[in-house]
């Protein structure tokens, strides 16, 4: 596994925050576990400053787990929020943690997608 994971994580989160700006002020620590061949890399992401460090993230309120090769593919292909949502629904990615945070993020993303659908319908 290469050491470009922090940059890829940062790129993925920036993409989500650009697409759903309402999430930008969220104060949250996220733990990300990327499973590779025989090992797991763990990262700590602190928002809203978007600091990514290689750390176990013991203070994380939300933990995201997925295979490293799948994560790389998603980021390299410029995955949108809908792609990430599909990955979670299909079980390719898993989010656990404080229920209130998970529900808040889901609600904000749903409202954003609803507004985007309405905008497309008007044009």
Query: Is-contact 41 1, C-beta < 8 A?
Result: yes
Distance in angstroms (rounded) separating the CA atoms of residues 116 and 123: 11
Low-confidence ranges of the chain (pLDDT < 70): 1-3, 121-123
Q: In degrees rounded to 5, what are phi and psi of residue 73?
A: -60, -45
CATH classification of the domain holding 85: 3.30.1050.10
Domain of 41?
5-122
Give the per-residue pLDDT at 3. 66
The three-state DSSP-derived secondary structure of the chain is: CCCCHHHHHHHHHHHHHHHCHHHCCCCEEEEEEEECCCCEEEEEEEECCCEEEECCCCCCCEEEEEEHHHHHHHHHCCCCHHHHHHHHHHCCEEEEECHHHHHHHHHHHHHHHHHHHHHHHHC
What are the tens digits of pLDDT across the range 4-32?
999 999 999 999 999 999 999 999 999 99
Give the per-residue pLDDT at 1. 43
- In the chain, the number of structural domains is 1
β-bridge mates for residue 97, sequence order: 62
pTM for this one?
A: 0.90
Q: What is the CA radius of gyration of the chain?
A: 14
């Amino acid at each position: 596994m290469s050491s470009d994971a922090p940059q890829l994580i940062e790129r993925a989160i920036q993409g989500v925050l650009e697409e759903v700006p309402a999430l930008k002020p969220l104060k949250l620590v996220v733990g990300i576990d990327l499973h590779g061949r025989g090992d797991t890399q763990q990262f700590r992401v602190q928002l809203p400053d978007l600091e990514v460090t290689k750390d176990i993230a013991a203070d994380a309120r939300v933990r995201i787990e997925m295979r490293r090769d799948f994560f790389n593919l998603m980021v390299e292909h410029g995955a949108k929020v809908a792609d990430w949502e599909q990955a979670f629904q299909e079980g390719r990615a898993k989010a656990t943690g404080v229920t209130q945070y998970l529900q808040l993020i889901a609600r904000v993303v749903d409202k954003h997608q609803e507004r985007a659908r309405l905008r497309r319908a008007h044009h």
